[in-house]
Chain A
Amino acid sequence: MTHKGHDHRKCMALFEKMSEYIDRELDEEARALVDAHIRACCHCQACYETLQRTVDLCRSSAADYPLPDSLSEKLRAMIEAAGR
């Protein structure tokens, strides 16, 4: 994330805050600074897009796992035994 023509420290500062930016956890001022930097720096834009995509993929791939057939019965028996 080095881009000629602007301050490299801004890239590093953004790198640290990128998840908070994605999660909309930055205050308005900090968010505006990140917005402006991303528009000006193609490397940070690319970095942001790959991290955002990583988050989207993790969320979208989180489907239900098939429950083992015996699990419900095991839980019922376990709770009955514990309640005696």
Chain B
Amino acid sequence: MTRREIMNGKKTVRDEDFELVQAINNGRTDLFQQLVEKYQQKIYNFGMRMCGESRDAEDLVQETFLTIFRYLKGFRYETRFKNWMYRVATTTCLKAKRKPKHAPERELSLEEFMPGEGEDLPDQAPDWAQRPLDQLLNEELAAHIKNAIIDLPKKYRMVMVLRDQEGFSTEETAQMLDISVSNAKVRLHRARLFVREKLKGYFDHDA
């Protein structure tokens, strides 16, 4: 349960972590371990989705919690603690040097996903878009989706992971990344179109 209050003229978010964070900031640093235990799985998942490799994801988790430990006193409860933690994680991730195996940083344009003039377009959605989801999703497909997301340029990957895998809203994602809501929407749409092309390729190949 999250409550928003005005204290001393400032907006304060009282979320499920409010009391724990306050206790840590009032000297109970031994309780920091509780925050780590609660959120290490989430940040590790985020690291795996962004980096694709366990060692890089571990580095991201360590760097994120170390930064949180050092700067928790500066957290002003202007947002949920979880959102602030993800902001730290995204900043850490954006600062990390690009790996040669990762997709180059480039802009994705809407045009590259638009059908060409005179292209023969389907009258109905393919089987993979109509079959029940639980009959479709298996380990091989999940691995293909993971790789498709990893192939996205980082700034698009970041928005898609936060929106479609971590479950944040457009506004929360924009706030975490310090970009406008409309920019977050543009990045998300292009990222989804990119992944859809990869899925089409996967299912066409399979057919």
Please count how many residues in chain B sit with their CB below 8 Å of the partner chain's CB atoms.
54
A15 to B186, CA, bound (A): 12
The stretch of B6-14, B44-52, B81-89, B93-101 that contacts the partner chain: B44-52
A43 to B115, CA, bound (A): 11
Instruction: Name the one of A42, A58, A65 contacting B164, with C-beta atoms under 8 angstroms.
Output: A58
CB neighbours (8 Å) of A78 from chain B are 62, 65-66
Contact between chains at A55 and B66 (CB < 8 Å)? no
Instruction: Name the one of B48, B66, B149, B189 contacting A16, with C-beta atoms under 8 angstroms.
Output: B189
Q: Which of A43-64 contact B (CB under 8 A)?
A: 43, 45-46, 49-64
A36 within 8 A of B: no
Write the residues of chain B forming the contact surface with A, with a CB cutoff of 8 angstroms. 29, 32-33, 36-37, 40-41, 44-45, 48-49, 54, 57-58, 61-62, 65-66, 69-70, 110, 114-115, 121-126, 128-130, 133, 136-137, 141-142, 145-146, 149, 160, 164-166, 170, 185, 188-189, 192-193, 195-196, 199-200
Write the residues of chain A forming the contact surface with B, with a CB cutoff of 8 angstroms. 1-2, 12, 15-16, 18-20, 23, 25, 42-43, 45-46, 49-65, 67-68, 71-72, 74-76, 78-79, 82-83
